[in-house]
Structure 1
């Protein structure tokens, strides 16, 4: 997991495996209130097949609070066989983080 950060916005992608799936959560946090758009791209290639998932939307972050923007569930075979990118676009800057 890689984190991209500036004084205003941080983003991260949390990978949460369980017995049946791998859940990826797109998370953002800001030191101050900020709004913008996000794009969450996940590509998986494993023995059970390939998939590409793209989700996008708007966000409004309150200062000092973490927010889950969206989540995606993949089958367990995705562990070690996926690439995810979360891109945040505010009025003035763009932030990107990836996993793994």
Structure 2
């Protein structure tokens, strides 16, 4: 089997209730579908959203390495909580999008 390289755009969380940020992930996989499955299980990705994976693009090895390096330098992936994100200014306000539809909450009073 020949391994291919993909960049996958996914909806990520920890930026406020009913909001998300789009981030690119760089993965090795045999198919684009497999790459999407790998990214869906990564930390910070909104796993429970059907539209969590926004885009899958096949790339060359050099772009894969550049993308991995960029993600290693991205403070959003280094922070472990909302307070650190705000302190280090990891997320710009213009990068945050509201959810298209507000999801119903699973609470006893609903």
Verify same fold: TM over 0.5: no
- Bigger radius of gyration among the two: 2
Q: Relative contact order, CA 8 A, sep 6+: which one is greater?
A: 1
Higher strand share: 1
TM-score, normalised to structure 2, is 0.29
